[in-house]
Amino acid sequence: MLTSFIKRGAVAAVALAGLTTAAFAQMELKIMAPAAPGGGWDGTARSMQQALTAAGIAKSVQVTNVTGAGGTIGLAQLIGAKGDGHQLMVNGFVMVGAILLNKSPVNLTQVTPIARLTAEALVIVVPTDSPVKNAKDLADRVKADPAKVTWAGGSAGGADHILAALFTEAAGGDAKKINYIPFSGGGEALAAMLGGRVTAGISGYGEFEGQIKAGKLRVIGVSASKRLANAPDAPTLKEGGVNVELLNWRSVVAPPGLSDAQKTELSGAVEKLVKSKEWIEILKARGWDDAYLGTAEFDAFLKTETVRVEKVMKDVGLVK
């Protein structure tokens, strides 16, 4: 069995050889994806690995996976790696909510923010044959009776849920009463919408794009500050009179207790990464939008975002 494994390994090694071209840089990095291999954060970590080595920014990059509890187990481990200047962790908007929801003993104020990398705007849609025509219609309904407006989206406390709550509040409805139905994965939520089971659905724009273009779903609004480049026809929620903005972002953070030199080194490497043509190619292939924020800006952004999410989760009754 072993020999057959090795033979197969050799085949794969040939196929992989193109990916691991030797680079001249000296930095040896470890990137932790606080989720199982195959998920979104893992994809970001492995894409970083690919681009960092291919562009010669780092000599070697090792991706590790620490699964569990919306990433908070990985977060605890990162905080434990105090002072390690070669360790990064991928995280994102979802972790802010998970920390509160899971009553995690550790939080994001304990790490060193490095940079925001990508962001995706969410979109609120309704089935095409729905009587709800625009953001104002939906806002009126939510205000009149939040129970009758069923929302389909991703996991409880995730970005989709937060947006539903923000929308309800902005429309003047009672966020405590929202009828939000979490589905596992965008696929199931989309099916519930196409089948006309729910009033409105929320997901990343990319996930609904095909259905929107095919005319099966109508855009009520995107949660960005301005219209998306790839969807110039889709209005923003703000245009529709509902003052809500929310981005599902992904970022990298480092352990606490880093010296200024270590911080500069890591920030510099990530800055080089986002400018490399390898990274830009990956973004394009994966359909991710660049939303780079340098260390200082990201630090400030993270603070305001945490405050906002905390308030919404209390309003909705997810956290007491």
Partner 1 sequence: METLLSLANGFSVALEPSKLLFCLIGVFLGTAVGVLPGIGPALTVALLLPVTFKLDPAGSLIMFAGIYYGGMYGGSTTAILLNAPGESASLATALEGSKMAKAGRGGPALATAAIGSFVAGLIATIGLAFLAPWLVELAVKFGPWDYFALMIVAFVTVSATFGDSPLRGLTSLFLGMTLGLVGIDKLTGQARLTFGVPELLNGVEVTTLAVGLFAVGEALYVASKRWREPEEIIPIKGSLWMNKQDWKRSWAPWLRGTAFGFPIGALPAGGAEVPTFLSYSTEKKLCKYPEEFGKGAIEGVAGPEAANNASAAGTLVPLLTLGLPTSATAAIMLAGFQQYGLNPGPLLFAEKPDLVWGLIASLFIANVMLVILNLPLIGLWVRLLAIPQPWLYAGILVFATMGTLAVNPSPVELGMLFGFGYLGYLMRRYDYPVAPMVVGLILGPMAEAQLRRALQISLGDPMILLENPISATLLGIAFIALVAPFVMSGLNKFKASDD
Partner 2 sequence: MSRTIDRPALVVGFLLLAVAAIIAFDASRQTITSNYGVGPTAMPYVVCTGMVLLGLAHLFVAFRDGLPKPEAADGRALLWVGGGLVGLIACIALGGGFIVATAILFSCTARGFGRDALPTDIAIGLVLGTAIYLLFLKLLTLSLPTGPLEALLS
What residues line the site for partner 1 (CB under 8 A)?
1, 4-5, 8-9, 11-12, 15-16, 18-19, 36-38, 42-43, 46, 50, 65, 67-70, 72-73, 76, 101-104, 147-148, 150, 155-157, 179, 181-188, 190-192, 194-195, 197-198, 207, 209-211, 213-214, 216, 285-287, 318
CB 98 within 8 A of CB 70: yes
Instruction: Pick what 198 binds: partner 1, partner 2, none; C-beta below 5 to 8 Å, kind-dependent.
Output: partner 1
7 binds partner 2 (CB under 8 A): no
144 binds partner 2 (CB under 8 A): no
Q: Pick one of partner 2, partner 1, none as the site partner of residue 320 (Cβ within 5 to 8 A by kind).
A: partner 2
Answer with the entry of partner 2, partner 1, none that 13 interacts with (C-beta below 5 to 8 A by kind).
partner 2
**Per CB under 8 A, does 9 bind partner 2?**
yes
Question: In this structure, what are the phi and psi dihedrals at residue 30, rounded to the nearest 5 degrees?
Answer: -120, 130
36 counts as binding partner 2 under rule CB under 8 A:
no
| Strand 200-204, strand 150-153: pairing | parallel
Dihedral of CA atoms 224, 203, 119, 295 in degrees, nearest 10, equals 100
Q: Which stretch binds partner 2 (CB under 8 A): 51-59, 160-168, 176-184, 198-206?
A: 176-184
Q: Does 46 bind partner 2 (CB under 8 A)?
A: yes
* 3-11, 197-205, 246-254, 285-293 -> range binding partner 2 (CB under 8 A): 3-11
Q: Indicate whether 317 belongs to the interface with partner 2 (CB under 8 A).
A: yes
**Among positions 12, 22, 214, 229, the unique one binding partner 2 when judged by CB under 8 A:** 12
147 contacts partner 2 (rule: CB under 8 A): yes
| Contact between 318 and partner 2 per CB under 8 A | yes
By beta-carbon proximity to partner 2, the closer residue of 64 and 306 is 64
Query: Residue 80 CB: number of other CB atoms within 10 A?
Result: 11
Q: Does 64 bind partner 2 (CB under 8 A)?
A: yes
Report yes or no: 149 and 155 within 8 Å, Cβ to Cβ.
no
The residues, any chain, with a CB within 8 Å of residue 23's CB and separated by 6 or more, are 53, 54, 55, 56, 57, 58, 59
Nearer to partner 1, 21 or 304 (CB): 21
Number of residues that bind partner 2 (CB under 8 A): 22
Cα 63 from Cα 51, distance rounded (Å): 13
Least distance from partner 1 to the Cβ atom of residue 109, Å: 18
Q: What are phi and psi of 165, to 5 degrees?
A: -70, -45
The stretch among 58-66, 102-110, 223-231, 247-255 that binds partner 2 (CB under 8 A) is: 58-66
Could you list the residues that contact partner 2 (CB under 8 A)?
A: 2, 5-6, 9, 12-13, 16, 37, 46, 49, 62-65, 147, 176-179, 317-318, 320
